[in-house]
Amino acid sequence: MSTLTKVLIVLLTVFSIFLCGIVVTYVANAENYRATADSQRSQIQTMRNARDAAVASEEQAKQQAAQLKAELDQQINDLKVAMTEIQGRLDAVKRDNTLKEQQVANQTAAVKLANQAATEQTRLFENVQQEIESLRAEQTKRTKELNETTQTLLEKMAVIAQLEQKTRQLTEAKQEVETRLNQMLQQYGRVAARPQTVTPTRAAAQPAPQRAAKKIDLDGKVTGVDPKNRLAEISIGAAAGVRQDMKFHVTRGEQFVCDILIFEVYPDKAVGILDLIQIEPRVGDAVTTNL
Amino acid sequence: MSPMPQARGGKISPANNLYTAILAVALGVVIASAAFVAFKCYTQYATIFGTP
């Protein structure tokens, strides 16, 4: 065997061993792409299944959502209808409310007018009441005057009856005296002269002379005193001639006490405000319009 | 070309066992490598020559 052959054999061996070593190393360390591909494939399949399941669940969820949306739309429509109906009722109620408010306003105005009328009637009634009171006082006064006048008339009539009787007696006595006188004078040829009356003849009517205004001259007594409010009550009223704004002077014996300015008059009494108080008045003090 | 004359038609006998052993080792390594590669291919891809 030649040297070259030997060298070639050695080189062949070395390189073979080297090459085989490389190949074995490479094959041993090579990645199992099939297993990787299979696992990837199985993963892909799993994911595809999951994707399909997700798509299916998405479809189902979409269907449920669509169904829910349809139900909600139906509810919305129903609610809109209900709302429209309620809105209509609300409008009707508002109209009724407006009408009722107008009626209330009208009734309020009517009540106000009625109140005004009642107030006016009350005022008129009070005025009439005051007139009635004054008329009653006037009536009382007139009745009292009538009674006094009647009494005076009866007295005068009694006096007149007495005087007539006396006149008749005097006339009879006069006639008897004249008869006797004539009888006596006839003896001497005379007759009695006609007596002259002492009753004065009436002159022609003349206007009455102007008289100066006379004093009121009302007298009474203090029947009540309110020093806290400076009020006092007297025993005479409209029947005696007391009028509002009259001034009475209160005296106690010869001493001046105070003045009373009348502001309220009743038929048989009057109330006034105390003025010019010198001494505290008390019940029983005399009141008069003229000192 | 060897200067030693050789008989025509005779058997060829190995002149040196060392180099034979070396060749046998190389051959064994190659065959072992091929067997290993085939085994690996079969276990991994279930085929030796075809595409997996």
Distance CA A42, CA A285 (A): 137
Domain that holds residue B27: 17-47
Residue B5 predicted with pLDDT over 60: no
Element (H, E) at A288: strand A286-288
Residue in the block written with tokens 């106000």 = A112
- Give the DSSP per-residue string, A24-69: HHHHHHS--HHHHHHHHHHHHHHHHHHHHHHHHHHHHHHHHHHHHH
Q: What is the dihedral of CA B5, B7, B10, B16, to 10 degrees?
A: -20
Residue B14 predicted with pLDDT over 80: no
B10 in a structural domain: no
Q: Say if A41 is an interface residue toward chain B (CB within 8 Å).
A: no
B24 in a structural domain: yes
Number of other residues whose CB lies within 10 A of the CB of residue A281 = 22
Residue A264 has φ and ψ, to the nearest 5°, of: -140, 130
Which of A277, A281, A286 has the alpha carbon at shortest distance from A226? Answer: A281
Cβ-contact A223, A285 below 8 angstroms: no
Cβ–Cβ below 8 Å for B29 and A6: no
Distance CA A173, CA B44 (A): 199
B27 in a structural domain: yes
B9 in a structural domain: no
Query: What pLDDT is attached to residue A200?
Result: 61
Contacts of A24 in chain B (CB under 8 A): 33, 36-37
Cβ-contact A237, A265 below 8 angstroms: yes
Structure tokens of A82? 């209900």
Element (H, E) at A226: strand A219-226
Q: Say if A20 is an interface residue toward chain B (CB within 8 Å).
A: yes
Query: From residue A243, how far is each of A133, A145, A264, B48 by CA, in Å?
Result: 12, 18, 8, 155
Query: What pLDDT is attached to residue A201?
Result: 57
Q: Which residues of B touch A (CB under 8 A)?
A: 2, 15-16, 19, 22-23, 25-26, 29-30, 32-33, 36-37, 40, 44-45, 52
A-B Cβ pairs (cutoff 8 Å, strict): 45
The Cα of A68 is separated from the nearest Cα of chain B by a number of Å equal to 52
Domains and CATH numbers, chain A: 219-288 (2.40.10.340)
Cβ–Cβ below 8 Å for A17 and B44: no
Residue in the block written with tokens 């022609």 = A204
Query: What pLDDT is attached to residue A34?
Result: 85
The Cα of B10 is separated from the nearest Cα of chain A by a number of Å equal to 16
Cβ–Cβ below 8 Å for B30 and A13: no
Residue A252 CB contacts under 8 Å (≥ 6 apart), including other chains: A279, A285, A286
Distance CA A236, CA A141 (A): 11
Cβ-contact A26, B33 below 8 angstroms: no
Q: Say if A162 is an interface residue toward chain B (CB within 8 Å).
A: no
The Cα of A26 is separated from the nearest Cα of chain B by a number of Å equal to 10
Q: Say if A193 is an interface residue toward chain B (CB within 8 Å).
A: no
Q: Say if A2 is an interface residue toward chain B (CB within 8 Å).
A: yes
Distance CA A245, CA A260 (A): 9
Q: Measure the N-to-C terminal CA separation of chain B; round to a whole number of Å.
A: 48
B2 in a structural domain: no
Q: What is the DSSP letter of A209?
A: P
B21 in a structural domain: yes
Put residue A5 in one of left, alpha, beta given phi > 0 → left and psi -120 to 50 → alpha.
alpha
Structure tokens of A85? 């109906």
Helices and strands of chain A, counted as H and E runs? 2, 6
Contacts of A34 in chain B (CB under 8 A): 44-45, 52
| Closest CA in chain B for residue A34 | B45
B3 in a structural domain: no
Residue A280 CB burial class (10 angstroms; 0-12, 13-18, ≥19): exposed
B39 in a structural domain: yes
Distance CA A274, CA A278 (A): 10
pLDDT tens digit at each of 291 positions of chain A: 788 988 998 999 999 999 999 999 999 998 888 889 899 999 999 999 999 999 999 999 999 999 999 999 999 999 999 999 999 999 999 999 999 999 999 999 999 999 999 999 999 999 999 999 999 999 999 998 999 899 899 989 999 999 999 999 999 999 999 899 888 888 777 766 766 666 665 665 565 555 545 556 788 999 999 988 889 999 998 888 888 888 899 998 888 889 999 988 988 889 999 988 888 899 999 999 886
Domain tally for chain B?
1
Query: What pLDDT is attached to residue B18?
Result: 87
Does ipTM top 0.85? no
